[in-house]
């Protein structure tokens, strides 16, 4: 089943917990976003874990160095998945994956800024990574008009063909989901499309229903 992931990038911990409580019935993964963790600390991961024991909790650390050290911090707080960056060294990615294996959890490699995501995915797969994120940069969306188009879909399809679990993120909106029809992705990460809406719970429900329409179980 394709998973809906709620990305919470608010700087307010209490707001994040309220969002998580509202959206949890419709989302499989609850993400403590990078700005949220930077603002309130790793304790927000502990609170999400405690409040939602049945959900997958992702700590979006985007580690670029001291990978095992940071991953251990997040796993100790209750994260099921931690992220590192595809543009960092393979040594760091390997260390995050090694720590994930030690905890029997998962590492996710974020491909933001990677020039050739497929080539990089082959490299990280070789060190044990099984989950990658095709992430369209929000800054590129806002300043350069980056789009979800056929080229992006083809890249995602290639990533999936490597036998990896592939999540997608970055300005995901309801109307573009049909572009991914037939692509066996792992998860769909939605932030503003849910959190910036007047009724986040209803927005998440709409996304969840659309996901099940396009990818029936």
The set of residues, in sequence order, having a beta carbon less than 8 Å from that of 12 and lying 6+ positions away, is 39, 40
Q: What pLDDT score does 120 carry?
A: 98
pTM of the model: 0.94
**Number of domain units in the chain:** 1
Distance between CA atoms of residues 169 and 188, nearest Å: 6
Quote the DSSP letter at residue 170. S
Strand, coil or helix: what is 66? Answer: coil
Domain that holds residue 72: 3-214
**Which pLDDT tens digits describe the chain residue by residue (217 residues)?**
899 999 999 999 999 999 999 999 999 999 999 999 999 999 999 999 999 999 999 999 999 999 999 999 999 999 999 999 999 999 999 999 999 999 999 999 999 999 999 999 999 999 999 999 998 866 665 555 556 788 899 999 999 999 999 999 988 988 889 999 999 999 999 999 999 999 999 999 999 999 999 999 7
Contact 176/148 with Cβ under 8 angstroms?
yes
Q: What pLDDT score does 206 carry?
A: 97
Contact 63/73 with Cβ under 8 angstroms?
no
Q: What pLDDT score does 144 carry?
A: 53
CATH number at residue 33: 3.20.20.70
Distance between CA atoms of residues 171 and 60, nearest Å: 17
DSSP per-residue codes, 149-164: -HHHHHHHHHHHHTT-
């Amino acid at each position: 089943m394709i998973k809906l992931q709620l990305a919470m990038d608010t700087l307010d911990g209490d707001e994040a917990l309220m969002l998580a409580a509202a959206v949890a019935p419709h989302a499989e993964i609850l993400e403590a976003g990078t700005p949220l963790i930077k603002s309130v600390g790793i304790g927000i991961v502990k609170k999400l874990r405690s409040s939602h024991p049945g959900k997958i909790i992702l700590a979006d650390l985007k580690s670029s160095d001291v990978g095992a050290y940071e991953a251990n911090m997040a796993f100790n707080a209750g994260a099921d998945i931690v992220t590192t960056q595809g543009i960092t060294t393979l040594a760091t990615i390997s260390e995050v994956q090694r720590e994930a294996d030690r905890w029997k959890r998962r590492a996710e490699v974020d491909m933001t800024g990677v020039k050739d995501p497929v080539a990089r995915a082959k490299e990280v797969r070789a060190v044990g990574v099984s989950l990658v994120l095709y992430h369209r940069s929000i800054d590129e969306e806002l300043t350069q008009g980056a789009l979800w188009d056929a080229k992006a879909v083809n890249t995602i399809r290639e990533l999936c063909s490597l036998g990896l679990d592939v999540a997608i993120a970055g300005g995901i909106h309801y109307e573009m989901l049909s572009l991914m029809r037939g692509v066996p992705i792992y998860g769909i990460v939605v932030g503003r499309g849910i959190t910036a809406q007047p009724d986040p719970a209803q927005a998440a429900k709409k996304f969840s229903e659309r996901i099940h329409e396009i990818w029936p179980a």
